[in-house]
Structure 1
Amino acid sequence: MSQTFLESVENRRSIYGITNEPILTDDKLEELIQHAVKHTPSAFNSQTARVVVLLGEQSNRLWEITSDTLKKIVPEENFESTAQRMTMFGGGYGTILFFEDMQVVESLQEQFKEYSDKFPTWSDQSSGMIQYVIWTALSDEGYGASLQHYNPLIDDEVKAEWNLPTAWKLMSQMPFGKIAAPAGEKEFQPVEERMHIFK
């Protein structure tokens, strides 16, 4: 592994303060995300990940949907901080939605019955990898991003709004944009307690 890759791993952080100022052109951004989608691994080369990129007003619409949904369940006296988060996420350049195509997962379960119970786990793992690859690639280009999980609360309305297949399972949402405020200090547990090597 090159030091450049390890530096990218180290530099990727959760960034919440973002703006809608462009860094890459939309074409370059699309190319970057397409490359990640194409080359991120998956079990049995199943390629179950589905990615939707919302830019500008489309991204704002997502956070309006999320805000409206949360208003129904968050007590009014506690909603101000939630509203601020929605405004913050909606103030970025865009949002990436990560899905898994459960129709493909179920098809694999039928084809390979001896592994049937494993495919949902492998699907989750594949989703985690593509989220990480795209997040790190965005970080390398100077974007700040964070990973949010308002699913399954918003799933049905998101699929209806963008006419997405019902078999797609929403896994996470990644608002991103130009960094307005850096990440804070990060604490690490001793690596020696988290890793063992036997020779």
Structure 2
Amino acid sequence: MSHNFMQAVKERRSIYGLSKEQVVSADRIQEIVDDAVKYAPSAFNSQSARVVVLLGGQSDKLWDITRETLRKIVPAEQFASTEDRINNFSAGYGTILFFEDQMVVETLQNQFTSYADNFPIWSNQSSGMLQFIVWTALEQEGLGASLQHYNPIIDDEVRATWELPTSWKLIAQMPFGKPTAQPGGKDINPLSDRVKIFQ
């Protein structure tokens, strides 16, 4: 599937209706993630991004963890809608977990003390660019995805379940799969209020 860059940007949307039907191979998913991790920009070329790709039952396990964690804190009378949302995510083919390695961030803070306050901000900016690259690339392959943030309440169990380093800070979760529903309309605020050009 071939698109030019801006067309792909326009077509990338949050897709919540997903199925487990395989659209592309697991190898292709890994290729997309590998390329995104290699080429996403990062401050000082820090390369602080860490990614975990969960497919099939491994992805289901993540959403089981999330569901049971939320069951403990969401009032019982409100839990049905929460569970429906989680079930939508677990209905997909996989989930990509985005982390930032805090050991890398802290090393840079110690090396370049005058920028110390900025490195966590730059780390998050880099992660956002990586997420966007992966999300847009998945869309080009015919996959739907959305971006979720159940961190930090699931962080400890995620690290324990997949034996991840304690320095990896979970930033976002991206469930993906074959789209089973189209995205809703997208309201766009006037660009005259958002973009200024001076010549």
TM-score category, normalised to shorter length = over 0.9
Deviation at 1:97, TM superposition (A): 0.3
Aligned to 1:68: 68
The whole-number CA distance in structure 2 between the counterparts of 1:137 and 1:150 is 23
Deviation at 1:114, TM superposition (A): 1.0
> How big is each residue's C-alpha offset from its partner over 1:145-193, in whole Å with a ceiling of 9 and x where there is no partner?
0000000000000000000000010001000000000101100000111
The whole-number CA distance in structure 1 between the counterparts of 2:55 and 2:109 is 35
**TM-score, normalization: structure 1?**
0.98
> Structure 1 residue runs of 4+, over 6 Å off?
none
Aligned residues: 197
Aligned to 1:107: 107
The whole-number CA distance in structure 2 between the counterparts of 1:76 and 1:161 is 26
Q: CA RMSD in A?
A: 0.8
Give the partner amino acid of 1:36.
Answer: A
Classify the secondary structure of the residue corresponding to 1:34: helix
Aligned to 2:179: 179
**TM-score, normalization: structure 2?**
0.98
Give the partner amino acid of 1:190.
Answer: P
Aligned to 1:144: 144
Identity of aligned residues (%): 59
Q: Which runs of 5+ in 2 are unaligned?
A: none
Classify the secondary structure of the residue corresponding to 2:170: strand
> How big is each residue's C-alpha offset from its partner over 1:50-77, in whole Å with a ceiling of 9 and x where there is no partner?
0000000000000000000000000111
Deviation at 1:4, TM superposition (A): 1.1
The whole-number CA distance in structure 2 between the counterparts of 1:107 and 1:77 is 46
**Does the alignment pair 1:26 with 2:34?**
no
Q: Which runs of 5+ in 1 are unaligned?
A: none
Deviation at 1:87, TM superposition (A): 1.1
The whole-number CA distance in structure 2 between the counterparts of 1:117 and 1:75 is 38
Deviation at 1:8, TM superposition (A): 0.5
Superposed, 1:9-88 pairs within 5 Å as: 9-88=9-88
Give the partner amino acid of 1:133.
Answer: I
> How big is each residue's C-alpha offset from its partner over 1:102-157, in whole Å with a ceiling of 9 and x where there is no partner?
00000000111111111000001001000000000001111000000000000000
The whole-number CA distance in structure 2 between the counterparts of 1:140 and 1:160 is 33
The whole-number CA distance in structure 1 between the counterparts of 2:5 and 2:27 is 24
Classify the secondary structure of the residue corresponding to 1:28: helix
The whole-number CA distance in structure 2 between the counterparts of 1:177 and 1:25 is 12
The whole-number CA distance in structure 2 between the counterparts of 1:86 and 1:125 is 27
